[in-house]
Amino acid sequence: MVRSKKRLKRRLVHKTIWRTPWIYLGILAGLIVLAVGLYQIPWVNDRAYFYVAKARSGIHDFFNPPEKVVFNPSEHGELSPEAAATLTAIAPTPTVTMIPTHTPTPWPTAEDTPTPTPTFTPTPTPLPPPSSARIEGIKWIKQGFNNCGPANLAMILSYWGEPVSQEQTSRFLKPRKEDRNVMPYEMLNYVVTETQFGGIVRYGGNIELLKRLVAAGFPVVIERGYMDSKQGWMGHYGLVYGYDDATKKINIPDTYLGEITMSYENIEMYWAHFDDIYLVIYPWEREQEVKDILGMNWDENYNKHQALEQVSNRIYNVEGRELFFAWYSRGSILVELQDYAGAAEAYDKAFEVYNTLSESERPWRITWYQTGPYFAYFYSGRYQDTLSLAQKTISRSAEPAIPETFVWAGRASKMIGDYPQAIYYFNRALEWHPNWWVAKDELERMGVTE
């Protein structure tokens, strides 16, 4: 009996996995194949990538805290005669807008604005919207990774009878899912070129306008700030489809958070982070309804001046982080008006305020979403500031999927005379946005072909 136990014990000791390795290797191979197969399922791939990206970002931010990076622009740019000649050839004709004084900016006069504002035929004063309204028939879409723009666009188009998925809109708007941002004008371009609907993007919106549009049956896409308790400030799109004056709240089928309501006060604050910009999509046969609701703001030039007055007045009513956004928005609207020198001054003020904010308050992702400073500094001849800001934006990102920033870094490098660096940056832009005509065109101008 004792001998049998010893024999059994000896057998067990010598029985290891290496006596039948093919079994375990087969199991391991099967698990790998299963994992690869599961990764091909879109929602699994998206979810897995979310955690990978989050972990990568966490490691990067731990060793390179993005909120510690500050930008100190130079006071002004100095142009060489050659650079000045080149800039004159490529830059749009600028206008000039004075920086605000300690009184609210007055409505632009003929002297302030070389481009005349059209005269409109007065329209009847519209009736006030009802105290509450809610648009039915909007189907919620849960966004994929970094996909709030394409998801919101898919939601509003589906409401109007164009059944598209966020994957379809995303393929057009951002070929690589890592791309950090989609611009409102890119969404409008999709509507105009890929659908049977019309659309407009305007600035300087307000709660009253949202109510009028929703009450008339037009959902509105807005871009706003969003404060995450762990990751800090970031940009986010939302589709406004309901409101209630009794509770003073707006209804949004948020593609990230689900169905939410936001107070009028919070909407106004976070919407102002993006110049109160809004996108309205409509069937062509209903265009006149949208025109009637917007009134004079239907005209782009009038709308931009109205938005400039709105944001300039805000500067004297806010402080801290909101003051940073007010100055930044003033710069963005001035870029739209092609007053690049005035815009550069406004951005200088904004970054001055930014540097006084506590690290937890700093919206360090701002240049992912709003690239106005690059336009302002570049077209003011401040190429080093353009390059410096772009490089700081890139350094803040664990995964710099920000092709617009690489393009501006390339343009500035080219104007400074560093052609190898310019080519490098343009190619990096193409890595994150394959076949993007903007970067390809820049390379072709330099004589670089594939």
CA–CA dist 337, 343 (Å, integer):
9
pLDDT at 49: 53
Confidence grade of residue 306 (pLDDT, cut at 50, 70, 90): very high
| Count of CA atoms in the C-beta half-sphere (13 A) of 147 | 26
- Tokens for 151? 């998801």
Residue 341: is its pLDDT beyond 70?
Answer: yes
- Looking at residues 88-113, what average pLDDT do you find? 43
CA–CA dist 93, 418 (Å, integer):
26
pLDDT at 29: 66
Angle formed at CA 30 by CA 29 and CA 31, multiple of 5 degrees: 90
CA–CA dist 55, 361 (Å, integer):
22
Kindly report the backbone phi and psi dihedral angles of residue 359, in degrees, each rounded to the nearest multiple of 5, phi listed first. Answer: -60, -35
Mean pLDDT of all residues belonging to the chain = 85
263-286: pLDDT as tens digits: 999 999 999 999 999 999 999 999
Residue 136: is its pLDDT beyond 60?
Answer: yes
pLDDT above 70: percentage of residues in the chain = 74
Which has more pLDDT, 82 or 304? 304
Which residues does residue 224 pair with via DSSP β-bridges, in sequence order? Answer: 236
Residue 10: is its pLDDT beyond 70?
Answer: no
CA–CA dist 395, 67 (Å, integer):
11
CA–CA dist 274, 377 (Å, integer):
19
What pTM was estimated for this model as a whole?
A: 0.82
Q: Give yes or no for a contact between 294 and 218, defined as CB atoms under 8 angstroms apart.
A: no
Alpha helices (H) along 273-320 = 287-294, 300-314
With the CA atoms of 362, 367, 372 and 378 taken in that order, what torsion angle do they form, in degrees rounded to the nearest 10? 110
pLDDT at 82: 41
